Amino acid sequence: MENTLRWALVTAIAPVAWGTNYFVTHEYLPTGYPLYGAVFRALPAGVLLLCLARRLPRGVWWWRSLLLGVCNMGAFFALIYLASQLLPVSLASTIMSASPLTMALFAWGLLSERPTMQVLTGAAAGIAGVCLLLGAGSQPVDLRGVAASVAALTMSSCGYVLAKKWGRADGPLATTSWQLIAGGLVLVPFAVIFEGTPPSLDGPALAGFAYVGLVATALAFTAWFTGLRHLSAATVGLIGLLNPVTGVLLGVLVSGEVLTVRQVVGLALVLLGIAASQLRFIDAPRVEHARADPDVHHRRRTGTADHRSLS
């Protein structure tokens, strides 16, 4: 249980950082350049992590990095950038809060990880909490932004589960760097064709891209993929609910907004949903020990007592 809590805390770094990304993109980054925005976010972070990891892909990881780079990084970043520019931050976060269910469904199909009652209960409580936190906005909704958010949610959920399915390569730093570089490079020709010359960046935009690249990308995705190695995909998806929670708290701290009673209840539901997903791991060490010890299976079949446990 202690190890599970530790990996859950590591994983939580990612959605907290992503929750700030919507605000930074909406307020400081240039509008109308989702492709260049994704390139500027992915490539510098990928090169930095590659310099730290100092490993190149080998064998099947060349095409795997390309596929994961498009799903998890390149196309995902462009879609999120577009959604952040077209939608209120709260609405974009609300749509992405469906990630626990989509990741659980992809994990069921690709990893045979059947969603447990704890995961389903936690997901339901978490999404209900997010709806209470954000409520129904009064601003008009741009359907292009909604479509971009849904596409980003679906692609990333599939990509994250595939990353877990394919397992270890050379560590999270290396695999994250390969995906970032692949995803960024794929977008470069599309950015040149559809957006022309890169946008001019002022001081706030440069600072915004530095934050998005270093914190909301390099650090966040390293933590996220580390969590995927040690936790179930459904549990990682539930931890991702900290993304919209961060957005709401950021509004309180930066914009001086005041939490209503409804929002406080919503925040409590999200945190309870995340905690509920962890309960099924309490007995995990004993389960893994039983799987590793063939004598346990023999004793269970024959009804023989374990005399060591009586001493």
Please report the pLDDT score of residue 10 as a whole number.
93
What pLDDT, on the 0 to 100 scale, is given for residue 113?
83
pLDDT higher than 80, residue 292: no
Structure tokens given for 52: 């730290």
CA dist., res. 39 & res. 65, Å (int): 16
- Give me the residue spans of the domains in the chain: 2-288
pLDDT band at residue 306 using 50, 70 and 90 as cut-offs: very low
The tens digit of pLDDT for each residue in 114-139 reads 877 777 777 777 777 767 765 544 45
pLDDT above 50 (res 293):
no
Rounded CA Rg of the chain: 21
pTM of the model: 0.75
Give the C-alpha separation, 299 to 222, whole Å.
Answer: 42
**Residue 112: Cβ-neighbour burial (10 angstroms; 0-12, 13-18, 19+):** exposed
Answer yes or no: is pLDDT of 278 > 60: no
Task: Indicate whether 245 pLDDT > 90.
Answer: no
Q: Residue with structure tokens 């260049």?
A: 36
Who contacts 268 (Cβ-Cβ below 8 Å, separation ≥6)? 129
Task: Give the range among 36-40, 274-278, 301-305 with minimum mean pLDDT.
Answer: 301-305
| Of 148, 11, 133, 132, nearest in space to 92 by CA | 148
- For residue 263, is pLDDT > 70? no
